[in-house]
Amino acid sequence: MKIAVVGTGYVGLVTGTCFAETGNKVTCVDIDQSKVEKLASGEITIYEPGLEKIFLRNLKEGRLKFTTSLEDGIQEADIIFLALPTPPGADGAADLKYVLSVADHLGKILKGYKVIVDKSTVPVGTADKVKQAIAVHYKGEFDVVSNPEFLREGVAVDDFMKPDRVVVGTDSERARKIMGDLFAPFVRQGNPIIYMDERSAELTKYAANSFLAMKISFMNEIAQLCEKMGADVDMVRKGIGSDERIGKRFLFPGIGYGGSCFPKDVQALIRSSAEVGYQFNILEAVEKVNAHQKLHLVHKIRKYFGDQLTGKHFALWGLSFKPNTDDIREAPALEMIDALLTQGATITAFDPEAMPNVRKHLGDRIQLASSQYDTLNNADALIIATEWSEFRTPDFEMIETKLKQKVIFDGRNLFDVKQMAGLGFHYESIGRK
C-alpha cells in the first residue's frame, strides 16, 4: 500500500518506518525543514532501540521518503496517518490545533477516496471534528478512522511489529477492509484486530494509559505504607503480581511516572469527564499521588541532611523519564533537580541518551558528566532517578572512593538492601527498610 504519515515525532517516525518494513511505500511529512533534511539524509532524529537499523534499510530501498509538502506527501497515498502533537492546553484538555489545521489543509487538496487515520492520542469526538474540517472544502468520498497507538518508548518497534492488539475505530466497511489488509502482516500470530466505533476507540487509548498510571500510583501508595509499617514493597509486589487478575507489569514502585503519554492522558481524561459533568475521582487521586511521589526521594534527602542542603553537591544517575529513551518530558529527575537547586544544592548528572535534551532544557543550571562515575567526584551522595541497565551492577568500590560519604538514594530500587548494608552504605530506596 501507499501510505502518508503526517508528523515525524516518536509515533510518526516509528509508524512510518514499521509500515515500510512490511513492504509498503511510505512518505513522511513534517513542516520542520531541518528535521526532514536530516531524516532524508539518513540521520535519525530520535533515540529508539532497534529503529535506526530498519530506518536506514527502508530509506536505502526507497520505501521510506520524507517531504515538507503535504500535497506531495499525500498525492499517491491510499491511507493518511495523522501523528501530530496534541499537547495539553491551559485547561488540561488536549489541544487539537495541529490535527485540525492539517485536516483543514487536507480538505483543500484531497483528490479521490482516502482513509484519514487519527494516530495521535485525541479526545472523544475528534474523528467527528476531523471529518467536519475536511468536509468544509472537500465534497468527495473519504473516511476518518481512529487507530490509537499503544507504543512504549524503549520497545516501540517491537510493540508495533508484534502488537498485543490493534484497535480500529470506524463504521465504514470500506475503511475497515483497508485497515484490515494493512495490519494483517502484524497479527499473523493471532493477536486480534478489534473493530469498534470511532468514539469507543478514542476512549480506549485514554482508558488504557490512565489505568496503567493508576497501577503505578497504587503501588507507590503501597510503598509509602510499607515504609511506615516496616514491610517490603518488593515482597508485596511479588505477592499480588502473581495473581493473574492483577498481573506483574506496572507494579514497580519508584519516583512516579513521566513521559509524553501518562501525565497528559490522565489530565485529558479528567478534563473530558468534567466537560460531560462527571468527576473522575480515581484519576484525580492518581495525579495527586504521582505529583507527591516525584519528590519523595527529595524528602528523604532533606531528612538525612537535616534540611540543610545549601552547599551540598549531588551525583545524579538518570535523566530520562524511563530507560532506553532520550525523552525527558515530565521526567521525575527534572522535578528533583528543580527542588534540590532551589534549596541551594548543586548537581552533576549523567544519562546515556538524554543529556543533549537536558542541556537544551536546563542550560548550565547543572553539570553534565561524560560517564556515570565522573558524576561522583566530591559528591555528598548519589541519587538514582532512572533504571538504565548499566546502573544495575556498578563498581561499588569506585563509588566509595569518589563519594565524600557512602550515601545512596535510589528512586528505582536497583540494589539489594542487605547487600548495601553489608557494603557499609547508607542506602535509602522506595518502600523498603
Helix/strand/coil (H/E/C) assignment for every residue in 153-208? CCCHHHHHHCCCCEEEECCCHHHHHHHHHHHHHHCCCCCCEEEECHHHHHHHHHHH
* Side-chain-side CA neighbours of residue 266 (13 Å): 26
Q: Give the Cα separation of 373 and 368 in Å (integer).
A: 12
176 is in an annotated binding site: no
Q: Which three cell numbers stand for residue 102?
A: 492539517
Nearest to 401 by CA among 427, 374, 383: 374
258 is in an annotated binding site: yes
Other CB atoms within a 10 A radius of the CB of residue 364 amount to 7
386 is in an annotated binding site: no
Q: Could you please report the per-residue DSSP string of 257-277?
A: --SSSHHHHHHHHHHHHHHTT
Check the CA dihedral 340-341-342-345 and report its sign: positive
42 is in an annotated binding site: no
Q: Which three cell numbers stand for residue 224?
A: 509509602
For Cα atoms 332, 336, 337, give the angle at the middle one, nearest 5 degrees: 115
162 is in an annotated binding site: no
35 is in an annotated binding site: yes
251 is in an annotated binding site: yes
Q: How far is CA 418 from the centre of its chain?
A: 33
294 is in an annotated binding site: no
**For residues 309 and 343, is the Cβ–Cβ distance under 8 A?**
yes
153 is in an annotated binding site: yes
The residues that are catalytic are 261
264 is in an annotated binding site: yes
86 is in an annotated binding site: yes
Check the CA dihedral 87-77-155-363 and report its sign: negative
Continuous H helices in 75-146: 97-109, 126-135
Q: Give the Cα separation of 141 and 159 in Å (integer).
A: 32
254 is in an annotated binding site: yes
Nearest to 167 by CA among 143, 201, 118, 207: 201
151 is in an annotated binding site: yes
Q: Give the Cα separation of 368 and 315 in Å (integer).
A: 10
Question: Which residue numbers belong to the known binding site for NAD(+)?
Answer: 30, 35, 86, 121, 153, 264, 329
Binding site: residue ranges? 30, 35, 86, 121, 150-153, 205, 250-254, 258, 264, 322, 329
Annotated binding site for substrate: 150-153, 205, 250-254, 258, 322
